[in-house]
A and B are shown apart, each in its own frame.
Chain A
């Protein structure tokens, strides 16, 4: 079976959607040469009207995309650096997201914001290493964080076809993941649907994005002590709460590992939403970045503030010891 990398899955999704629908076009910095290595070859194939390289004017080109969407196109805006999302939060939230409601349903704003390389890239330091997906979930923008190549393909396709703004976070730590994939089976993955990556009986671990792979590794490591179910939400907003509640109803225990800062991070929302519906047999736990984290430069410091396997294993073991 052929191997598909996460990054190539994104490229394939863009090319397939641009082929299928003339309204789809790309906008972003250095995309003509594919500096993020997601758009190489697309300029030659689709031309400069559909692969529009932009000046370093994030606010203007983000709102340009809003206008193009109002006029019936389906822009995909690439951001090379996750921290640029802070710069364009205004354009996305105040305009793209609010227009349908503020106009009383007169319009749709189908824009996809693609962030290839979100989170830490080790050594890229404070202004290139953020993972602000919880912010977008908070304001109610459809937010996806695919973990696997097939999901990267399927969720990006669904994002482009969706009639509202969608932010697609492609974690740097997942970009080089490769899977054996039958290309004929690549298909849209519905937004808002999670998936159980590993079945288990004792505890449900919710892992976001690249951390799904860490959670699966920890589950395997602990397999002789505890049966871990790994739940990959894939979409953070809207969240597939029914599927997670179904899992936790069986296991009775919940641990969330999430690359957000702790306060108001998506882990807090996930845990609260489950607790509103299901009694747990032990207190829930979360493994996250610290409060207010700014990723330091030195690799040991960078790793020290990211959630990781050791902390997850410890959290699972503590949860198994706890009783209400």
Chain B
């Protein structure tokens, strides 16, 4: 009998892994324009965190956000259609890779401004609770974000007003090409602790370890606790952005990359399953993604006449440019 939690976690990391590999292929074939920031290697964090959240809980992601959106439960087909700029995408082709959102499942969006989303999530969680809906939030950000002033302002506000948001720092060692040692004075957990926010470091390559620390934090937050921070140590297996596939940037040694890739969250979680279960899930994921890619490529491109659609929720119409 399959143990439900390990299998679900494995399915999520495998889904994100193969989704990203297929998305990279679609970048190369020209179907995804503008490239993506691959989440390869970091899958265990989104999978582990989201496995410990409830359906009504909220998340915000980053420019490297496919994993966050998928782990919270977005439809891979509509997600892939979004990356391909199709009307059938989650955001009707208006957001793309860096802004994919599905508010119906609590994904307030990937957000491409580094460090910006924790304050937004804090306001959203606070507002839901004021309206009698006791949700929690989890906000993903990278190690680059910890030097953004607005992130630290958000830490203060969340702690001061005891808003239950889990601050998930995905420390993959680099802000684009800048190593943590060259950018971060003090420590990431120390920043949280300065605001009285409990902080813990976890192995981000182990989905189950991430799930467990998140579940413990979630239990405290549901019990009335304030924000907590999890620093998930991880490694980005691929480029900062797919443009690096064409333009080699010299900032990581081949040895470092090989070492980083040796601890693979998909394999770590996969080893907890029987080979038969793993194969069955892999096949199921491939079928899901075959269908997702087919759905994405079959979707219509948006009508250029609708380029200003949704600019205003109020229905205000803007003048055109000519």
Q: Which residues does chain A contribute within 8 Å of B124, judged by CB atoms?
A: 67-68, 70-71
- CA distance in complex: A66, B101 (Å): 15
Max chain A C-beta neighbours (<10 A), residue from B93, B124, B311:
B124
Q: Which residues does chain A contribute within 8 Å of B121, judged by CB atoms?
A: 67
Determine if B90 is an interface residue (Cβ-Cβ < 8 Å): yes
Contact at A163–B314, with CB atoms within 8 Å?
yes
- CA distance in complex: A107, B111 (Å): 15
Tally of A-B residue pairs with Cβ under 8 A? 149
Determine if B199 is an interface residue (Cβ-Cβ < 8 Å): no
Contact at A105–B309, with CB atoms within 8 Å?
yes
Distance between B62 CB and nearest chain A CB, rounded to angstroms: 14
Contact at B109–A57, with CB atoms within 8 Å?
no
- Chosen A-B contacts, 9 in total, with CB atoms closer than 8 Å, are A68-B126, A70-B120, A71-B128, A103-B103, A103-B109, A104-B89, A104-B309, A106-B101, A238-B316
Q: Which residues does chain B contribute within 8 Å of A17, judged by CB atoms?
A: none
- Using CB atoms, name the residue of chain B closest to A22: B131
Q: Which residues does chain A contribute within 8 Å of B116, judged by CB atoms?
A: 63, 90-91, 94-95
Inter-chain pairs besides A67-B125, A100-B312, 6 sampled, C-beta below 8 Å: A59-B119, A67-B127, A94-B113, A102-B94, A105-B92, A107-B313
- Using CB atoms, name the residue of chain B closest to A58: B153
Q: Which residues does chain A contribute within 8 Å of B309, judged by CB atoms?
A: 101, 104-105
Please provide the chain A residues from 33 to 82 with a CB less than 8 Å away from any CB of chain B in the complex.
49, 54-55, 57, 59-73, 75
Contact at B89–A164, with CB atoms within 8 Å?
no
Distance between B163 CB and nearest chain A CB, rounded to angstroms: 9
Of B37-45, B154-162, B288-296, the one with at least 4 CB within 8 A of chain A = B154-162
Distance between B105 CB and nearest chain A CB, rounded to angstroms: 11
Chain A interface (Cβ within 8 Å of chain B)?
49, 54-55, 57, 59-73, 75, 90-91, 94-95, 99-110, 140, 142, 162-164, 192, 238
Determine if B299 is an interface residue (Cβ-Cβ < 8 Å): no
- Using CB atoms, name the residue of chain A closest to B129: A71
Given A70-B103, A95-B113, A100 contacting B310 (CB threshold 8 A): yes
Q: Which residues does chain B contribute within 8 Å of A110, judged by CB atoms?
A: 313
Q: Which residues does chain A contribute within 8 Å of B126, judged by CB atoms?
A: 64, 67-68
Q: Which residues does chain A contribute within 8 Å of B150, judged by CB atoms?
A: 59-60, 63, 91
Contact at B156–A101, with CB atoms within 8 Å?
no
Q: Which residues does chain B contribute within 8 Å of A192, judged by CB atoms?
A: 316
Q: Of B90, B119, B127, which contacts A71 at CB under 8 A?
A: B127
Q: Which residues does chain B contribute within 8 Å of A66, judged by CB atoms?
A: 119-120, 123
Contact at A103–B156, with CB atoms within 8 Å?
no
- CA distance in complex: A59, B127 (Å): 18
- CA distance in complex: A110, B314 (Å): 9
Q: Which residues does chain B contribute within 8 Å of A108, judged by CB atoms?
A: 313-314
Interface bits B131-175 vs A (CB < 8 Å: 1, else 0): 100000000000000000110011011001000000000000000
Determine if B99 is an interface residue (Cβ-Cβ < 8 Å): yes
Given A95-B116, A99-B109, A64 contacting B131 (CB threshold 8 A): no
- CA distance in complex: A4, B143 (Å): 53
Q: Of B91, B156, B157, which contacts A102 at CB under 8 A?
A: B91
4 closest A-B pairs by beta carbon, nearest first, are A67-B123, A104-B92, A60-B153, A108-B313
Q: Which residues does chain A contribute within 8 Å of B316, judged by CB atoms?
A: 142, 164, 192, 238
Q: Of B108, B122, B153, B310, which contacts A101 at CB under 8 A?
A: B310
- CA distance in complex: A66, B126 (Å): 12
Distance between B116 CB and nearest chain A CB, rounded to angstroms: 6
Contact at B122–A163, with CB atoms within 8 Å?
no
Q: Which residues does chain B contribute within 8 Å of A104, judged by CB atoms?
A: 89-95, 309-310
Q: Which residues does chain A contribute within 8 Å of B130, judged by CB atoms?
A: 49, 73
- Using CB atoms, name the residue of chain A closest to B302: A104
Q: Of B94, B99, B113, B313, which contacts A163 at CB under 8 A?
A: B313
- CA distance in complex: A162, B316 (Å): 10
Max chain A C-beta neighbours (<10 A), residue from B99, B104, B130:
B130
Contact at B154–A63, with CB atoms within 8 Å?
yes
- CA distance in complex: A106, B156 (Å): 29
Determine if B318 is an interface residue (Cβ-Cβ < 8 Å): yes
Q: Which residues does chain A contribute within 8 Å of B123, judged by CB atoms?
A: 63-71, 75
Contact at A55–B91, with CB atoms within 8 Å?
no
- CA distance in complex: A55, B154 (Å): 11
- Using CB atoms, name the residue of chain B closest to A111: B123
- CA distance in complex: A104, B189 (Å): 36
Q: Which residues does chain A contribute within 8 Å of B318, judged by CB atoms?
A: 140, 238
- CA distance in complex: A95, B101 (Å): 13
- Using CB atoms, name the residue of chain A closest to B109: A103
Q: Which residues does chain B contribute within 8 Å of A99, judged by CB atoms?
A: 109
Distance between B170 CB and nearest chain A CB, rounded to angstroms: 20
Q: Which residues does chain B contribute within 8 Å of A103, judged by CB atoms?
A: 91, 94-95, 99, 101, 103, 109, 310
Q: Which residues does chain B contribute within 8 Å of A105, judged by CB atoms?
A: 92, 94, 309-310, 313
Given A66-B120, A103-B94, A57 contacting B156 (CB threshold 8 A): yes
